[in-house]
């Protein structure tokens, strides 16, 4: 079984992430008020001192997947064989939220790891502290130790071999603060047999209208209360795992506002309400539900109780009648053909889908040599060996063109199978989905507070879905309260933006500052007057 009680832990994680952000702000504010000395900005050293030993800590995240853990361990061992003076200590997590919490706790005590797996949204919060995160541009471009550098002891990709879209996702403001490590997107895993049984033919590109129409058709019941499509008592035709992503992608596909790079929150708009109205009707009819409300889409899909299951491509090994990983007993699994599609679209001619997946960031330290050692390991994670072994564990794709062009990867993609777990067809289909749509991916603007905004976006769908199932009235007053409560709960009204609108007015200059400035001005005036007076005297003499 995948994760019993995962649900409860999932929610605790989300809550903790949210609260940690608030706590971090307080801690950092307090620290700065007490004059805590920030670290000096990192400069790339002229050389790497290999006569010294370095202990570096890497906080890694695996998808509750033992193979991924082994790959990290092997990567560390292989790296340490090349650099015997660098000792990599890995701490494993299975939850991004927990890493985030622990990083925040450790920023306050200057005990951050050297490297950690993270998301840019989280980095934006870490960066609230001065010089906490190392900007990577100078490191990436360093001729000796950078990407493809002359003095690195492994086959490092060049900077231009990192997929540009993914590198761009790691830029916050003007600098890059992370390296992409793996990338995924969301996929819609479809029970093709049921779609056709309902009299529909799958289109080239799934649209929201099509998915909802088929889903409604699948809610028809027999006289005995079972569903006509599967003869079972349970059928949730359309289940979405991450409602954060659902709302974000729907808004982006519509070209509707969500947020600006400056941190302005535009989530609460008419487009959002229109989307929620649509979802509400389908939730009330039982055609749509979410992971948080019902459970993992894969469990329903594999039991023949779902037709459209949207989950990450990084969860592809759980999807389908022949999935290598299953959470339900074998006697519940039904046989059907699984087809992998991009998430449903509003405009099939111009598909848009979210880019997600782990990145790695470096934490600044007093010793630049230690930072350089940690950079070397971080960049080692981009080598073909690490990229190819890790991406094959799930529906991830490598983040370098160098790995994608590797013959071993090409061979891997060509060997689809329904029975061999390594070459599980649905997983490789999910990879190809992303490989073929890299240019159609997008990410949301990153700023301090963007992680909260993501959560808020999903919470709107969760709340409307729950309310609809409970037959509650959803009208103007409902939306007004929902938007207001969500705005308040996630403190979106407290996000400081770089735009003019929301920056705090610092008020009038303090009196003492005015005195100081006037005094300096008077001093210079008097100096000037003295110089003039002296020159006049000289002329007279």
Partner 1 sequence: MKKYIAACLSAAMILALAGCSKEDSKTDATTTTAEATTEATTEATTEATESETEASESETEATESEAAGDVMTYADYAAADLDTEVTIEAYVQAKQSWWEDKATVYLQDEDGAYFCYEMACSEDDYAKLVDGQKIRVNGFKSEWSGEVEIVDATFEIVDGNWTATPVDVTDLLGTDELVEKQNQLVSFTGMTVEASKDADGNEVAFLYKWDGSGNEGDDLYFNVSINGETYTFTVESYLCDKDSDVYKTVSGLKVGDTVDMEGFLYWYEGVNPHITNVTVK
Residues near partner 1 (CB under 8 A) are 1-5, 7-9, 11-12, 15-16, 19, 26, 29-30, 33-35, 62, 64-70, 92, 94, 293-296, 299, 327-329, 332, 466, 469-471, 510, 512-513, 515-520, 522-523, 526-527, 529-530, 533
Nearer to partner 1, 81 or 537 (CB): 537
| Centroid of chain to Cα 117 | 11
Tokens matching residue 434: 């992303």
Q: Shortest gap between Cβ of 117 and partner 1 (angstroms)?
A: 15
Nearer to partner 1, 14 or 435 (CB): 14
Cβ atoms of 56 and 114 closer than 8 Å: yes
For residues 22 and 25, give the distance between their C-alpha atoms in angstroms, rounded to a whole number: 5
Q: Shortest gap between Cβ of 391 and partner 1 (angstroms)?
A: 18
Q: Shortest gap between Cβ of 18 and partner 1 (angstroms)?
A: 8
Nearer to partner 1, 241 or 365 (CB): 241
Cβ atoms of 461 and 247 closer than 8 Å: yes
Nearer to partner 1, 295 or 448 (CB): 295
The 3 state secondary structure assigned to 364-402 is CCCCHHHHHHHHHHHHHCCCHHHHHHHHCCCCCECCEHH
Tokens matching residue 99: 């890493």
Q: Shortest gap between Cβ of 421 and partner 1 (angstroms)?
A: 13
Nearer to partner 1, 94 or 502 (CB): 94
Distances (CA, A) of 129 to 60, 114, 262, 476, 494: 22, 16, 18, 41, 18
Nearer to partner 1, 27 or 172 (CB): 27
Q: Shortest gap between Cβ of 393 and partner 1 (angstroms)?
A: 11
Nearer to partner 1, 34 or 538 (CB): 34
Nearer to partner 1, 192 or 332 (CB): 332
In the structure, how many helices (H) and strands (E) does the chain have? Answer: 19, 14
Q: Shortest gap between Cβ of 444 and partner 1 (angstroms)?
A: 25
Nearer to partner 1, 410 or 518 (CB): 518
Nearer to partner 1, 159 or 491 (CB): 491
Tokens 């390296």 found at:
179
- The residue among 290, 309, 278, 291 whose CA lies nearest residue 213 is 278
Most distant pair of Cα atoms in the chain: their distance: 119
For residues 261 and 495, give the distance between their C-alpha atoms in angstroms, rounded to a whole number: 12
Q: Shortest gap between Cβ of 5 and partner 1 (angstroms)?
A: 5
Q: Shortest gap between Cβ of 177 and partner 1 (angstroms)?
A: 27
Residues 6+ apart with CB under 8 A from 7: 292, 295
For residues 480 and 136, give the distance between their C-alpha atoms in angstroms, rounded to a whole number: 43
For residues 102 and 120, give the distance between their C-alpha atoms in angstroms, rounded to a whole number: 16
Q: Shortest gap between Cβ of 124 and partner 1 (angstroms)?
A: 21
Strands annotated E in 145-284 = 171-172, 175-176, 179-180, 186-191, 238-240
Nearer to partner 1, 143 or 508 (CB): 508
Cβ atoms of 431 and 313 closer than 8 Å: yes
Q: Shortest gap between Cβ of 139 and partner 1 (angstroms)?
A: 31
Cβ atoms of 48 and 151 closer than 8 Å: yes
Nearer to partner 1, 470 or 538 (CB): 470
**DSSP character at residue 132:** -
Residues 6+ apart with CB under 8 A from 522: none
For residues 143 and 520, give the distance between their C-alpha atoms in angstroms, rounded to a whole number: 47
Q: Shortest gap between Cβ of 13 and partner 1 (angstroms)?
A: 10
Nearer to partner 1, 10 or 197 (CB): 10
Nearer to partner 1, 290 or 312 (CB): 290
Q: Shortest gap between Cβ of 310 and partner 1 (angstroms)?
A: 18
Residues 6+ apart with CB under 8 A from 230: 194, 304, 305, 334
Q: Shortest gap between Cβ of 164 and partner 1 (angstroms)?
A: 33
Tokens matching residue 41: 């900005």
For residues 465 and 277, give the distance between their C-alpha atoms in angstroms, rounded to a whole number: 10
Q: Shortest gap between Cβ of 541 and partner 1 (angstroms)?
A: 14
DSSP string over 386-451? HHHHHHTTTT-B-SBHHHHT-HHHHHHHH--BSS-STTBHHHHHHHHHHHTTGGGEE-----TTHH
């Amino acid at each position: 079984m995948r994760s019993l009680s995962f649900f409860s832990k999932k929610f605790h994680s989300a809550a903790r992430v949210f609260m940690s952000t608030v706590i971090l702000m307080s801690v950092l504010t307090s620290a700065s008020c007490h004059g805590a000395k920030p670290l000096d900005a990192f400069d790339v050293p002229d050389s790497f001192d290999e006569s010294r030993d370095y202990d570096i800590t890497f906080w890694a995240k695996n998808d509750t997947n033992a193979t991924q853990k082994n790959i990290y361990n092997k990567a560390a061992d292989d790296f340490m064989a090349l650099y015997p003076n660098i000792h990599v200590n890995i701490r494993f997590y299975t939850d991004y939220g927990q890493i985030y919490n622990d990083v925040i706790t450790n920023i306050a005590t200057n005990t951050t790891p050297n490297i950690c797996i993270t998301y840019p949204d989280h980095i934006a919060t870490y960066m609230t502290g001065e010089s906490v995160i190392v900007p990577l541009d100078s490191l990436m471009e360093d001729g000796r130790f950078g990407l493809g550098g002359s003095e690195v002891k492994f086959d490092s990709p060049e900077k231009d071999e990192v997929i540009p879209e993914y590198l761009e996702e790691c830029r916050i403001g003007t600098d890059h603060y992370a390296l992409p490590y793996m990338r995924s997107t969301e996929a819609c895993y479809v029970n093709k047999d049921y779609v056709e049984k309902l009299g529909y033919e799958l289109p080239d590109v799934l649209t929201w209208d099509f998915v909802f129409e088929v889903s409604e058709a699948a809610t028809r019941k027999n006289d005995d209360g079972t569903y006509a499509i599967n003869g079972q008592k349970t059928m949730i035709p359309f289940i979405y795992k991450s409602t954060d992503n659902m709302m974000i992608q729907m808004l982006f596909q519509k070209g509707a506002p969500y947020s600006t790079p400056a941190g302005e929150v535009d989530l609460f708009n008419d487009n959002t309400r229109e989307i929620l109205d649509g979802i509400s009707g389908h939730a009330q009819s039982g055609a749509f539900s979410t992971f948080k409300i019902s459970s993992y889409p894969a469990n329903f899909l594999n039991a023949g109780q779902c037709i459209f299951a949207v989950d990450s491509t990084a969860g592809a090994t759980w999807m389908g009648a022949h999935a290598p990983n299953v959470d339900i007993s074998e006697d519940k699994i039904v046989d059907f053909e699984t087809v992998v599609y991009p998430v449903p679209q509003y405009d099939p001619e111009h598909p848009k889908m979210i880019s997600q997946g782990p990145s790695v960031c470096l934490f600044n330290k007093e010793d630049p040599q230690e930072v350089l050692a940690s950079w070397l390991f971080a960049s080692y994670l981009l080598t073909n060996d690490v990229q190819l072994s890790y991406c094959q564990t799930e529906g991830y794709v490598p983040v370098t063109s160098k790995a994608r062009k590797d013959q071993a990867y090409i061979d891997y993609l060509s060997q689809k199978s329904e029975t061999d777990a390594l070459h599980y067809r649905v997983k490789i289909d999910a990879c190809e989905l992303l490989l073929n749509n890299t240019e159609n991916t997008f990410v949301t603007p990153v700023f301090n507070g963007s992680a909260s905004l993501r959560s808020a976006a999903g919470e709107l769908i969760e709340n409307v879905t729950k309310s609809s199932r409970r037959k509650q009235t959803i009208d103007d007053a409902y939306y007004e309260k929902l938007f207001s409560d969500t705005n308040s709960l996630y403190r979106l009204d407290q996000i400081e933006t770089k735009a003019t609108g929301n920056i705090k007015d610092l008020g009038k200059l303090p009196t003492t500052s005015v005195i100081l400035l006037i005094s300096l001005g008077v001093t210079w005036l008097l100096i000037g007057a003295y110089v003039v007076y002296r020159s006049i005297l000289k002329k007279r003499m």
